[in-house]
Chain A
Amino acid sequence: MTLTLGEFSMLDISGIKRLQFDVLVIGAGGAGLSAAISASQEKDIRVGLICKSLLGKAHTVMAEGGMAAALGNVDNRDDWKIHFRDTMRGGKMLNNWKMAEIHAKNAPKRVRELEHWGAVFDRTKDGLINQRNFGGHRYPRLAHVGDRTGLEMIRTLQDHGIHQGIDIQMECTALDILKDKSGKVSGIVCMYRETGEFIVFETKTLIFATGGAGKSWEVTSNSWEYTGDGYGMAYEAGAELIDMEFNQFHPTGMVWPPSVKGILVTEGVRGEGGILKNSEGKRFMFDYIPEKFANETADTEEEAARWLQGDKDARRPPELLTRDVVARAINTEVKAGRGSVHGGAYLDIATQRSAEDIKRKLPSMYHQFKVLAELDITKEPMEVGPTCHYFMGGIKVDAETSMTNVDGLFACGEAAGGMHGANRLGGNSLSDLLVFGNVSGVEASKYARKLKSIPKSDDEDIKRIIKSATSILNREKGNNPYLIHEDLQKNMQYNVGIIRTKDEIVDGISKIDDLKSQFKDVKAAGTSQFNPGWHEALALRNLLISSEAVAKSALLREESRGAHTREDFPSERKEWLEYNIINKKGKGGKMETIKEKRSNPDPELQRIANSSIEDLDKEVKLDHKK
């Protein structure tokens, strides 16, 4: 059904295309594909998968470094307990304990499963899956393929998934969730980007694997798809958003030339031995080792060098501290006037590894800098700076089922919040996608099986959603969606960026209010066929909801923890460890931002996370002997 000017006032939806599913997955990155595949293995479950782009192009493709799983192939001292402890410490203990446990326990199984579906990981000398070092991980833990692990993952899932009887709809944008009278999920209204035709998917369950909202910032490693669609739609349907103040700024994005600012430089560069220097040539990370990590971090260049040579007694170099720490350190160096020529830090692998090693272990970094920056990383240092990368927060889900507070709505991957706490460790995202993609697919199928039929949607809701989308095309004149988006990005960059203060966040929120009113009159020129201006305008609502949730949560959390840094409250505060911040749509339609008391963790998990590394190493050694 293609709508043109005038038709929408007396909208007739009797001819609209409708398809029926038991489980419908929104988003086809690593999490969405995993969810769809696991649901498709369940008997008599009709599975659909829709994606905004072509299949195989989702942002997972950009993941570089690897997926974390305690396989113990390179260092057999590794174990799920140590992975769990690393994850909790990296997340500053704010992680959902149960999710972090499920993740660490199941990651190895899921990585091996991926190998069985055709993924070809780099190998150890013994022919096993090789594992590399990464920030915050005690032992070499990241299964990887050079620096293109995400491509390997998405292609493997894609090529396996297309043979599992999943109905895949490409270049299809989800607009809003439908619910029945009792509040259960009953469907979703979508639009084919190619034609502008609307379609209603009637479904017992929805799994949101819609990623984050990194496109809210100006300097970001995220692609156009990252507009918080899942956050916006879930919020509108009454779901809660959790931990939205925790936005990961990856320490190493490209800073030059301007057109590529923000594009990711993998942490694998540091994992392979890359070091960070300031304009004075000083290896500055030694000055930024937090007390909590001092025991486990090298304090001299000599010790760091021994570690790189494989000395098991040497401690890890400070470049491999967690991302929040490294990003803030670079930021501080630049602010102090010790930045690189174009306002970043120097990342040097050329003096640490042979040209041959670099090209073999980091081929796409080599290629990316050669083409985009005309720089040979085997000879010269790169210039890098923080770039918005990942949402730790997201849609609040139950740890064991991935279901939200809306019956029938599930979420996994970056779209879901809780697992990573205040800061995510590199490599824990790809494994998260596999683990919780799988959980949500299985659990959504279970839920679907309990319902006799698909809950009934209200046609008036469908009409309202379609009208709100077409009004953007049909209004005579209005605001340019691209310019509203640019203003939002500038606002988030300057007011709700890597270092935050109350005054700036307050300004940021009032600017978001202003942009929300501009959005009411947004106008896309042209027709409904493959019209990026219209698509941009449709995404704006979700970007604005996501940004508002980020800003309001950032204002409320008066402490600095992990990726959330308040200049006016510079350290962690114990009382805040007891709370998560929740955003939800209030009765009057306004966003409510509240503190929610965290439940008490399982004592055994608490014991593991708080163990000293020496004690835990001993314990694991005994476990392995059994």
Chain B
Amino acid sequence: MKERDFKIYRGDDERGELVSYKCNVSEGMVVLDVIHKIQAHQANDLACRWNCKAGKCGSCSVEINGKPRLACMTRMNELEEDKTVVITPLKSFPVLKDIVTDVSWNYEQNQKIKPFTPSKKDTEKGFVMMQKDVDRVQHFRKCIECYLCQNMCHVIRDNEGKDKFAGPRYMTRLASLEMHPMDKADRIEDVKDVHGSGMCNITRCCTEVCPEEIQITDDAIIPLKERVVDRFYDPIMMLFRKLFGKKKETTS
């Protein structure tokens, strides 16, 4: 058991300050344990979000010493022992209170995505899809919606970007739908015009912070950009589609 120093942001979007706390830390503790301990014994009204405490729900996203992390998966022993640990809210979203931010913008982006549209190629036993054909889709579907990628994306950090780009989380979701073997909707035009794939300039910051290690940039965003290019900027492909139609259902 060792006493460690913490500074936690207290306040709202307009006013706030870093408040100092001391807390005894024992073996195996994660940053979320510290927050809970401070909440129970020193600051009952310290606002924080959490649920599963095992890196599966993506609720406790904060910035720890300036880095976007899940508080439940950040062990105290990986942070430098004699340095004060600074816990602040995600920078890209408005602060509601303390380290809780308003992430409703993300839910609005999701709402704009054309939902899964099942193909009629169904059997009595359900869809027939080979494992190798769904591996990548499953890789995308590991996403726990912690929004660390959204927070890190410089397009979204710059507030005006929020009108133009849905962000890496939703590029990943779009990719998972577009690559689903049994989905028949077409979202490529939306990817370009509604969700703003062109805004991403592939700096890979999102991939670096993903706690699920999803290859957001390489596996999701770049392939989507390529499909947009094929559709809208490749004259041979455009002619091909004119002749043979563009729906997945008919071309595949």
Contact = CB atoms under 8 A, between A and B. Distances in A.
A56 B46 CA distance: 23
A73 interface: yes
B45 A533 contact: yes
B56 A534 contact: no
Interface in A517-556: 524-527, 529-534, 536
A128 B124 CA distance: 11
B220 interface: no
Contact of B137 (A115, A120, A258, A526): A120
A115 B127 contact: yes
Interface string A456-493: 00000000000000000000000011110010000000
A482 B51 contact: no
B201 interface: no
B44 A127 contact: no
A127 B28 contact: no
Interface string A148-171: 101110010001101100000000
Contacts of B27: 257-258
B138 to A, nearest CB: 6
B116 to A, nearest CB: 3
Contact of A367 (B28, B55, B75): B55
B56 A71 contact: no
Interface stretch (A259-267, A323-331, A388-396): A259-267
A372 B58 contact: no
B52 A532 contact: no
Interface string B43-64: 0111111111111111100000
B51 A59 contact: yes
A401 interface: no
B29 interface: yes
B180 interface: yes
Q: From B44, B73, B97, name the one whose CB has the most chain A CB atoms within 10 angstroms.
A: B44
B47 A259 contact: no
A282 interface: no
Q: From A62, A260, A371, A524, name the one whose CB has the most chain B CB atoms within 10 angstroms.
A: A371
Contacts of A129: 125-126
A53 interface: yes
Contact of B56 (A112, A116, A117, A151): A151
Given A129-B126, A259-B29, A57 B54 contact: no
B40 A483 contact: yes
A152 B55 contact: no
B115 A160 contact: yes
Given A224-B50, A264-B54, A55 B107 contact: yes
A148 B143 CA distance: 11
Contact of B47 (A116, A160, A224, A531): A531
B28 A258 contact: yes
Interface stretch (B128-136, B221-229, B239-247): B128-136
Contacts, number: 168
B184 to A, nearest CB: 12
B115 A163 contact: yes
Interface in B4-52: 26-30, 33, 39-41, 44-52
Contact of B52 (A112, A223, A483, A527): A223
A62 B47 contact: no
A181 B57 CA distance: 42
Nearest to A114: B126
Contacts of A257: 27-29
A230 to B, nearest CB: 17
Interface string A114-138: 0111101011001111000000000
B126 A482 contact: no
B21 to A, nearest CB: 15
Interface in A351-388: 363-364, 367-368, 371-373
Contacts of A123: 129-131, 134
A264 B56 CA distance: 11
Interface in B68-105: 73, 75, 96-98, 100, 103
A127 B137 contact: no
B235 interface: no
A482 B44 contact: yes
B29 A115 contact: no
A117 B116 contact: yes
A145 interface: yes
A56 B183 CA distance: 22
B118 A54 contact: no
A225 interface: yes
B251 interface: no
A486 B37 CA distance: 12
Nearest to B115: A163
Q: From B30, B40, B122, B143, name the one whose CB has the most chain A CB atoms within 10 angstroms.
A: B40
Given A57-B59, A152-B141, A116 B118 contact: yes
A259 B33 contact: yes
A159 B110 contact: yes
A145 B110 contact: no
A515 interface: no
Contacts of B51: 53, 57-59, 61, 223-225
A525 B40 CA distance: 12
A194 interface: yes
A374 B56 CA distance: 18
Given A258-B28, A368-B54, A480 B141 contact: no
A256 interface: yes
Interface in A150-208: 150-152, 155, 159-160, 162-163, 194
Contact of A162 (B103, B110, B143, B145): B110
Contacts of A55: 107
A61 to B, nearest CB: 5
21 contacts: A55-B107, A57-B51, A57-B59, A61-B52, A61-B144, A117-B116, A118-B118, A118-B183, A122-B131, A127-B129, A145-B141, A159-B115, A223-B51, A256-B28, A259-B26, A259-B30, A372-B54, A480-B40, A482-B40, A530-B47, A532-B46
Interface of B: 26-30, 33, 39-41, 44-59, 73, 75, 96-98, 100, 103, 107, 110-111, 115-116, 118, 122, 125-131, 134, 137-138, 141-145, 173, 177, 180, 183
Which 9 A-B pairs rank lowest in CB-CB distance, beginning with the nearest?
A: A257-B28, A526-B45, A533-B44, A118-B116, A482-B40, A127-B128, A530-B47, A530-B97, A123-B131
